[in-house]
A and B are shown apart, each in its own frame.
Chain A
């Protein structure tokens, strides 16, 4: 064996050799490592030996017997011995000159974690990095550029070719025209999602590699605890402003199932994605008062629903612990590679969802189901004080966000939707399940039962809040 073999206390060494003798199959690890992992109660390995080792009971006995010799868990003793050995090696190998000085990175670290300076820094990063770069540049400028390209150069060609090759109108519509797989599904994925996701992942990789994200988590942990989340959840929440579908997927990284459920619900309910933000800011930007009411109300709902869910959901609260790496200047190559790999992976996940959306719209129109839903939604719109034309905006917006947006703009310009109604429509539309892609991701990540429960809450809640806001604004005589 190697000279660096770690020597554990006698009782542990004895247990190791006993377990070594009892092991019969090959684990691709030395028997000593397997024995050590078992003594530390490695769950995966314990499950494996329960199935494969004939003397499983005997091994468990050795472990319990050994535990009796110590007051602390064995894993704790093993870690301490390893730490000591590591220290010994370090002392022999490392020569340090001078003491740690307050370097620039140290000063920056202090500035980013102290709440007095850290919170303004956080707001600046979110404003320029997320809002300006991803929201305005990615979701605005770049989306417009690629959309125009698709509409001018790709869609007409696809429409023409399909019209010549396929004789049936019904099948033509599946592939081309207003809601086709290529002209809607793929265009949507490439022209709208791709630029948003690219700018977002680029920004995110820079933040990640600089070591800033753990500091962000540290700053918001206390506030997030109030809504049943931990500082760790700040990452999917920030991602949500880019794309809620992606953020729902990232809730995987949260520690407890309880936290994952709360985060998924808040993302579906109260975090508008960049596409929604674009529309809403466009509609309300002429009315600072309306914008203020909308954003204030969304923050209120976010906190209230988070707080109530945290009270109602059983289970252990999520603890927060995180290593804080030193701040570093990100390497361009690493950032680009990461962005590329993530985009590829994300695109493979999301493209089928957009194709599915096209097929569903095609089916909905073909079967007349959409007309039925729109007629059913019309009275709801009137009840909210909205024109009945808004029903179509809500339904189509679910499948195709840009249509919902265009529809709203259209109603606004025709003067059908005005003043107070704009705020009501914006609030209801934001609370509503954002889009079919996110809905599918929720099904995939949280399962059918939880997703349906959330939907059953969100649908009536969105309309109820719309009604309430309309009622309050009317009662108070607020108009814009």
Chain B
């Protein structure tokens, strides 16, 4: 990907319901969390959409749907893509 086209990554918890993007990186040193996320398919480079914020964050990554709590959601950074 061309670096100039890359918008800034935002934290998953700052996304609005229905917004889509690409997983950019994880902001945590806790390798256990990274392992859990990757086991569920949350891997940098994959398309991600935020479906619900309350009571738990519901995300869709590729064809997989997952629920994560706020602490884990906070570690995920997403580059938003244009909607639709």
Using a CB–CB distance below 8 Å, which chain A residues touch chain B? 41, 72-73, 75-76, 79-80, 83-84, 109, 113-115, 214, 217-223, 225, 230-231, 317, 319-326
Contacts and interface: CB of A to CB of B under 8 A. Distances in A.
Given A73-B34, A76-B34, A230-B69, A320 B56 contact: yes
B34 A320 contact: no
B55 A218 contact: yes
A114 B44 CA distance: 28
Given A76-B44, A221-B69, 20 more contacts: A72-B25, A73-B34, A83-B41, A83-B46, A84-B45, A219-B56, A221-B67, A222-B55, A222-B56, A223-B55, A231-B56, A319-B33, A319-B71, A319-B72, A321-B36, A321-B69, A322-B67, A323-B66, A324-B67, A326-B65
28 contacts: A41-B31, A72-B25, A75-B35, A75-B38, A76-B26, A76-B38, A76-B44, A80-B44, A83-B41, A83-B43, A83-B46, A84-B45, A113-B58, A214-B67, A218-B55, A219-B55, A221-B69, A222-B69, A225-B69, A230-B69, A231-B56, A317-B71, A319-B33, A321-B37, A321-B69, A323-B40, A323-B64, A326-B65
A338 B69 CA distance: 30
A218 B56 contact: yes
Nearest to B36: A321
Nearest to A318: B69
A89 to B, nearest CB: 13
Contacts of A221: 55-56, 67, 69
B77 to A, nearest CB: 13
A155 to B, nearest CB: 50
The residue among A41, A79, A217, A325 with the most chain B CB atoms within 10 A of its own CB is A79
Contacts of A76: 26, 34, 38, 44
The 3 closest A-B pairs by CB, nearest first: A320-B69, A218-B67, A324-B65
Given A319-B69, A324-B65, A75 B40 contact: no
A81 to B, nearest CB: 10
Contacts of A114: 52
Interface string B52-66: 101110100000111
Which of B43, B55, B71 is the most central at the interface, judged by chain A CB atoms within 10 Å of its CB? Answer: B55
Given A73-B31, A76-B34, A222-B55, A320 B44 contact: no
Nearest to A41: B31
Contacts of B34: 73, 75-76
Contacts of B44: 76, 80
A114 B51 CA distance: 10
Contacts, number: 82
B40 A321 contact: yes
A320 B52 contact: no
Contacts of B54: 115
Contacts of B33: 319
Nearest to A73: B31
Contact of A321 (B26, B46, B66): B66
Contacts of B31: 41, 73, 75
A225 B69 CA distance: 10
Contacts of A220: 55
A218 to B, nearest CB: 4
A264 B80 CA distance: 43
A393 B52 CA distance: 50
Q: Which of B44, B54, B69 has the most CB of A within 10 A?
A: B69
Nearest to A325: B65
Contacts of A41: 31
A221 B36 CA distance: 17
A218 B43 contact: no
A65 B26 CA distance: 23
Contacts of A326: 65
A231 B25 CA distance: 26
A230 B69 CA distance: 9
B64 A113 contact: no
B43 A320 contact: no
Contact of A217 (B41, B43, B67): B67
B55 A324 contact: no
Contacts of B37: 321
Q: Chain B CB within 10 Å — which of A219, A230, A320 has the most? A: A320
B74 to A, nearest CB: 11
A223 B54 CA distance: 12
Contacts of B41: 83
A368 B67 CA distance: 56
Contacts of B55: 115, 218-223
B52 A321 contact: no
Contact of A80 (B36, B45, B72): B45
Contacts of A321: 36-37, 40, 66-69, 72
Nearest to A79: B38
